[in-house]
């Protein structure tokens, strides 16, 4: 009679699931040992320029404001005609400034006195046929342009040059990362991030500046185009480890 409840209790205990709780000593974690390396690199790609930009215009003076503007407009019409005759498309000619300023005479202990007016009209011009640039400049002066600044040279469609510069900048950064890894006895595990900074297209300094009308020239103005370059800056973060 006494054994029957005991046997029943033992049978129930045998059917219960066995559970256990791990202690902190039973769990082992392995934190990866790695180092982040940030590298900035830049590269350039050069091309022969295929476009030139210059500014040209007319500066006129007169004792009256209306006369200064009128004379300037008449002379500027001849300059614009010279540009069209040289094959410059309308989309490549853009007015950059029209100004009328008084001219003062200064004397000791006297207020300034207006003695005349100076009017100016300036346009920015893109020349796409660089072999004709010298003739274009001479034609402008011959038709009354008495102000020329430039030219500066550039690449009209620089996408291919930028791609070349990007590839070179990334390879340079990777080579530098590998140098650090080899020095530290580590491996380059992965690239964490890539950031492309501001790109630039450096231009040669203007090689020509002309003021006032010049006498007829016996030969075309000499122009040296040199090279134009685009540059790309990248910042890459690498993970180094064993």
pLDDT mean values, one per 10 residues, the chain (242 residues): 51 49 42 85 95 96 97 96 95 96 94 96 96 93 94 94 96 97 95 87 45 49 88 97 92
The burial of 71, by beta-carbon neighbours within 10 Å (0-12 exposed, 13-18 middle, 19 or more buried), is given as middle
- pLDDT value at position 140? 95
Instruction: Look at domain 50-157+207-224 and name its CATH class.
Output: alpha beta
CA distance 81 to 34: 69
- pLDDT value at position 225? 86
Domain boundaries, the chain: 50-157+207-224
- pLDDT value at position 23? 42
């Amino acid at each position: 009679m006494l054994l029957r409840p005991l046997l029943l209790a033992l049978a129930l205990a045998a059917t219960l699931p066995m559970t256990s709780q791990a202690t902190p000593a039973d769990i082992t974690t392995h934190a990866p040992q790695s180092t982040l390396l940030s590298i900035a690199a830049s590269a350039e790609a050069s091309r022969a320029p295929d476009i030139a930009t210059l500014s040209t215009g007319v500066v006129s003076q007169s004792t009256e404001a209306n006369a200064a503007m009128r004379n300037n407009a008449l002379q500027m019409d001849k300059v614009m005609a010279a540009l069209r005759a040289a094959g410059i498309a309308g989309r490549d000619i853009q007015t950059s400034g029209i100004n009328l300023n008084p001219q003062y005479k200064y004397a000791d202990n006297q207020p300034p006195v207006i003695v005349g007016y100076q009017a100016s009209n300036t346009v920015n011009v893109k020349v796409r046929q660089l072999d004709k640039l010298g003739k274009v400049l001479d034609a402008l002066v011959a038709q009354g342009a008495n102000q020329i600044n430039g030219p500066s040279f550039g690449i009209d469609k620089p996408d291919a040059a930028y791609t070349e510069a990007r590839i070179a900048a990334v390879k340079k950064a990777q080579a530098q990362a590998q140098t650090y890894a080899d020095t530290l006895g580590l491996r380059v595990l992965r690239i964490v991030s890539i950031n492309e900074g501001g790109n630039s297209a450096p231009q040669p300094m203007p090689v020509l500046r002309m003021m006032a009308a010049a006498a007829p020239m016996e030969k075309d103005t000499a122009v040296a185009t040199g090279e134009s370059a685009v540059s790309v800056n990248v910042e890459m973060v690498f993970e180094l480890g064993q």
